[in-house]
Chains A and B, each alone.
Chain A
Amino acid sequence: MSVRRLLVLPHLKIHNANALSSPFTIGFPAMTAWLGFVHALQRKLNAAGYPSLDLVATGVISHQCNLQTFQGPGDFVHSIIGTGNPLDKEGNRSAFIEEARCHLDVSLLIEYQADEETQQLMRQPDFIEVISHQLMRMKVAGGDLQAFELPLLQVLDDSDEVAQGKVMRSLMPGFALIERRELMQQAMEQGADALDALLEYLTIHHHCTEDNDGNVIWKSQRKVDGDGDKPGWIVPIATGFQGISELGEAKNQRDPNIPHRFAESIVTLGEFRMAHRIKQLDEVLWRYHTDLNKNLYLCQQAQTESKETANDGFY
């Protein structure tokens, strides 16, 4: 039994967030953007008189995600609606790499830890004011925070599924982002390379069979796993970085006192699951994790055991 302390930031309305979460994907901002925002908030709160406050894990629940792309009549693919700001000195559009944007309505579920003294301070009514004040000056995933509902503090017990369910239902309607890296791992263990493993889950598979009477039957479905389970609403998500050069010093780095290296985005599979289906908070909470031996900088979830059985009856 352990106690969980939660800070809920409900319905952050974000304008023009970065939708190019990796070079391979477009849409919902990268997990690194959300954890980065929460960490920035922690630093601001630490400085604002809550020194021992530690925001340890974050869940992201999407209520609305409005991607700024365009599909012309008859087009199969979408194109990005670019803005080309700022204009150059002659007033022409400057050369730019296309930047994809999206407008979001997102709730964040943040697990925190703090010592007794800081907790005492947080229980004071002005804490909510302080945090709102900080939020108003922050960027989220590169976008502007235009509005939000009042933050809430909650304490609940880990063994109390009813209370956890209640927290999640309060965020309905919404979809929680869950890591499904194990789907890709399984495919890769069977020999697929990463790109094939990814595409397997993002395509519609058309299967053709012939029954005993010679009738041809075409079936179309998303990829199912080995047990015939349908894995849910699966999307590619950017969850971290891989270092691609030695750690060291570089000319022109932002901060000369911090080790620098070049890195690339890492993409894996995730799932958007409706909030009312979440039974344990651990299913939605993400944390920082670095594996410097493998040069990996990750946001990841504790792999929970709550895998659902979805028997398709194919046996």
Chain B
Amino acid sequence: MSDPAIEQFFHERKEAWLKKNLKATMSEMEVRAKQLECDQFFELKNWLPDAAQRIESRALASHPSKFSHPSTGVGKKNKANGTYVTPILFLGHRSPDGFLRTGNVTCAEVDSVGNAAELDVEDFLRLKLSDGITLLDHIEQKTASAQALLRLDGYDFEQLRTSFLVVKSPPKNIVTNSKIKQVYFLVGEGEYHQLSILTHSAYLFEQRRRIDAIRFSEQAKEAREKRRNNQLGENYQEIYHLTTIGYGGTKPANISVLNNQNAGKAHLLLSMPPELSPRNVQLPTRNFFGEALYPKQLQVTFQAFHRLLSTGHNNVNIRKGRDYRIQEYLDQLILKMWQVRKAFVEQEYSRPEGLPAYQKIWLFPEHEQERADNQAWLAELIQDATRYFNVSYKRVLGSTAFVLGDTEHFAFAEVIEQNKEALL
């Protein structure tokens, strides 16, 4: 007796077939005739050999070429018009090398491509039998169940098996296409390899699945709600700046099976440098300190700085940490400085008159030459930057703030000395 999963499979197919072929107007005789036809069609000895032929136009592929260009593929039409690309089934090996590449992600899905009309055969091969192993694996390993299934009168078991395994057989002729990016990569003095670049679609959608879990899972929703009400809750993560990309337009099924399951949508992670000319730079009118640079931007920095002071120790690690935080303050100051300068370049006509003289030299583009020639203004800037560090620290920490002593001021002077040129 065959496996319940297989029984179920044929039961569903038969029902669908009958639904399609039976009409309300048919007489009882006709209905019976159709039912007979149906049973015959799905009888193993008829269906299996046919299926074994049809599976030829589908292929399991980890890297379907259609993600590189939708006109390429493995179907008969592709073979006819020269856009056939060898389906690649690559599993890779795992190694903690710090790379997102095939082999390094836990993901059991395998995509497939080809003629959608033969999808039923693929579904058949992907059936999980009662022992949890797919039918395809059974056939490949020639298990007893596979033998029972494929030993049909008048057919050779080996031949049927080979026909089915075509779906994952390593391709004999390697074919790429001009529609796929082919990159030259330098491998040695004047020596190159040509790489046709493909996409690992299962990983693409695994990424989407994990991002969606971060965004929409019940756990995350619950924790988010708890945080909003400032109640005790579980830790959670949040991800921003995603971009959605669509494959296959209104027909995601034309790209691949996994693409269809995901409605053609995948998420991309953002890879961008910090913005140097944000649309809303706060331009100072009276003082850079307090208007362009303000304590809130540096909250984390000052809190960490405070924690370091409150340890009461004074060892090399503490000192390094302290200097790092001072540097963080200066980095923020330098970033703001450039944002303000850029904004002034773009805004030629209005200049705030209320700024201290040294800040005008420091920030206005028309004083660029002066800035380098005479550096008296720099001393003033350094003084104000030091003072403002003190002020911001007190503002962030409130009454818990320590009074900064000579050690801290000396440390600050030293760090700012190293950054002097970056302020020019």
Residue ranges of A at the interface with B (Cβ–Cβ < 8 Å): 20-21, 23-28, 32, 36, 39, 62-65, 67, 69, 76-80, 95, 97-98, 100, 165-166, 169, 172-175, 177, 181-185, 188-189, 193-199, 202-208, 210, 216, 218, 220-221, 233, 235-237, 241-255, 258-270, 272, 274, 276-277, 288, 290, 292, 294, 296-297, 308-315
Contact = CB atoms under 8 A, between A and B. Distances in A.
B242 A25 contact: no
B217 to A, nearest CB: 13
B230 interface: yes
A268 B321 contact: no
A30 B268 CA distance: 14
Contacts of B240: 204
B274 A175 contact: yes
Contact of A260 (B63, B193, B266, B422): B193
Interface in B38-66: 62-63
Interface of B: 62-63, 67-71, 82, 86, 88, 90, 92, 95-102, 104-106, 173-178, 182-188, 192-200, 203-204, 206-207, 210-211, 214-215, 223, 226-227, 230-247, 249, 266-274, 276-277, 300, 304-308, 310-311, 317-318, 320-322, 324, 331, 334-335, 338, 342, 419, 421-422
Nearest to B213: A199
A194 B268 contact: no
A169 to B, nearest CB: 6
B98 A184 contact: yes
Contacts of A189: 96
B99 A210 contact: no
A210 to B, nearest CB: 6
B353 to A, nearest CB: 26
A173 B338 contact: yes
Contact of A77 (B223, B243, B308): B243
19 contacts: A23-B200, A64-B277, A76-B215, A78-B242, A97-B69, A188-B96, A193-B104, A204-B239, A204-B240, A206-B238, A207-B235, A208-B234, A242-B92, A245-B90, A251-B175, A277-B331, A290-B188, A297-B193, A309-B317
A258 B188 CA distance: 13
Nearest to A70: B243
A255 B102 contact: no
Contacts of B184: 36, 255, 258
Contacts of A265: 197, 199
Contact of B269 (A25, A258, A276): A25
A290 B185 contact: yes
Given A185-B96, A193-B106, A261-B195, 20 more contacts: A28-B271, A28-B272, A65-B273, A78-B241, A78-B243, A183-B98, A184-B99, A194-B100, A199-B210, A218-B227, A236-B271, A251-B173, A260-B193, A261-B193, A262-B176, A265-B197, A267-B100, A276-B334, A297-B195, A313-B310
